[in-house]
Chain A
């Protein structure tokens, strides 16, 4: 059956078991290329487009719009025109006969680890092997799941770590000062503990400022910097968002703030809100977020500006932003030092790595090579 390839349901995040096909974006018979978006899929958490990793003709849509397909299940078949319909029928039949959906308990993929670092527990998820490691640093109030559309895609040819910063996710919640430096120290200590001499740092929002701070303190430990909707490049930050996110106690209070993170606020599902609430209700989170907000973003002003340090950092720098960012304006990407390459995605919000996952992954993959 050479020359017949399958397009399957991806696994976005640790808890995904199935997804619903919302709509196909290409017709049967159309030519598709790697990186092309082929169909929209939604889970109980999030909706996103599936990107092809194949080159060929979409010969068969096995899953129809509205179908619920388990992770790794068959969505479509890609083959060249020389392959007959009968061969494709046989391929589909064989696949479906042999297919066993992975059960929810069957954690076949990588699972998050915990490590004790300088008196704290830090949680991280490692995917992939080889090369100079990549370290993904989430933003304020986030966790390693913020990279659910990016982590696996980047780990094809290299080791990629996603970390829960102190005060976040399932890492320890105690925060001493709540400034960028404290978080940067924790990142360096983490690199020491897992044995990463040098890494590509990819930071989103608060995590971007942390990445620059690490690069500036220990330049020899950093191979490159990718700053996505990064803090630290300008003074203004949406104080209403920061305050509202920290103060929200209920679903209805939290929802309007989470919607500000995305250009398309429909992406904020009930499940996404519940997941963030579950985090916010852990003991110690309220104090941790309050301390970071009061130290790093008091009064809607960023306390730590790392813009000038960028010029001193002797590594390649990629800056990514969504033009519709309502938390930190994309104008902060203007007039950066000459060593920074800037890419602005039109009509995407603060969570640009989720809203434009395919394009961001492609750009990062190329940048990290």
Chain B
């Protein structure tokens, strides 16, 4: 296992990438991206067995699907910094003729992306399909999927949750980013999700909880705990509490930065809070 300090340094660089990407084009979604930076680094740098020499079928490797595609900045940064494509390409985020579309897509052939996402609530179904494909292929690797909490308001998720438990899809780990915020406010105010633990339990999932979803050490150990629960005929979920905008003090404790880019002064302040570690692109 890499030492935690070096992973935290990696996370800090990812935060800088996110902030600079959205600032440059004055658009994009920094809040949720920052909130999941630790999760992505834990997954790609520590937990998943994956191959940056990308091929779509991903046989004999762990796969990851991002359902809440609007947090593409964190996905792109972590893929680039894991050598899926040159980090300089982060400069093209949301620009015309770029492979780094506003929301992730396979359409432009960006290595590391296996499905388009952005229209919410579809990623879990796709991940389940990929998990079934692995079972047919007798491929023992794991499928990971990340979903936002707001997108659980989409009904398709509950079709998928019901299916995975009923059919014993036990090679999948679904993580829910519980930041409690969506575009119009808190999830409690917009459409209260109720007790997700009891919902997931009653849908037949093994449901783990992580209170500190911005603590990379705890994320890694929770993901490993989830992996140890695979193969028992039951799908596994992690309800992971995160802080939207984590790592930038003025972006935390608010939903204001869901889909808003920092201005020049705000970027400067945010970068001061996250000094360069691996080298900016």
Q: Is B one of A's binding partners?
A: no
Interface on B for A, CB 8 Å cutoff?
Answer: none
